[in-house]
Amino acid sequence: MYLRCFIQGKPRSWVQWLPWAEFSHNTSYHTNSKITPFKALYGRDTPQVVKVQQGQTEVSAVEEQLMERDAILDDLKGHLLQAQQRMKKGADKFRKDVAFAEGEWVYLKLQPYRN
C-alpha cells in the first residue's frame, strides 16, 4: 500500500521510492503496539525529515533532489489519507450503533480461540 501510494502516477519509478516507503512504514505510529516500528527496534524516536527551503543548500542538484523528495512525501501523505478514508468507509458499511439496556437479553456467538 505504501509503495502504491508513492508511485501513483509514476509507476516506472517504484524502485527509487522503495527506501522512502520503508522509512514511512517504520516511522508511522501503530495503534496496536502504541509505538513506531523504529522505536520498537532501536528504543528511540525516529529521526525527523527536515523540509528543505529554496536556497538552503549550495549544490543545486542536492536541492533539486530534496525538493523532489519533499513533494513525493507530501503526495504520499495525501494518498495514504485517502486510502485510510476509503478503508474506513468500507468498514463502516457493516457497523451500526446498538445500545442495550441493563438486564436486556442478547445473543452472543462465541468461537473458540485457536493458536
The predicted-structure confidence for 25-71, as pLDDT tens digits, reads as follows: 888 888 788 888 889 989 998 888 888 888 777 888 888 888 888 88
Lowest mean pLDDT among 8-12, 24-28, 58-62, 85-89: 8-12
- The confidence score (pLDDT) of residue 102 equals 93
Exposure class string for 6-37: b at 16+ Cβ within 10 A, else e: bbeeeeeeeeebeebbebbeebeeeeeeeebb
Cβ–Cβ under 8 Å, residues 108 and 53: no
pTM for the whole structure: 0.54
If we measure between CA atoms, which residue out of 3, 1, 26 comes closest to residue 14?
3
Share of the chain above pLDDT 70, in %: 94
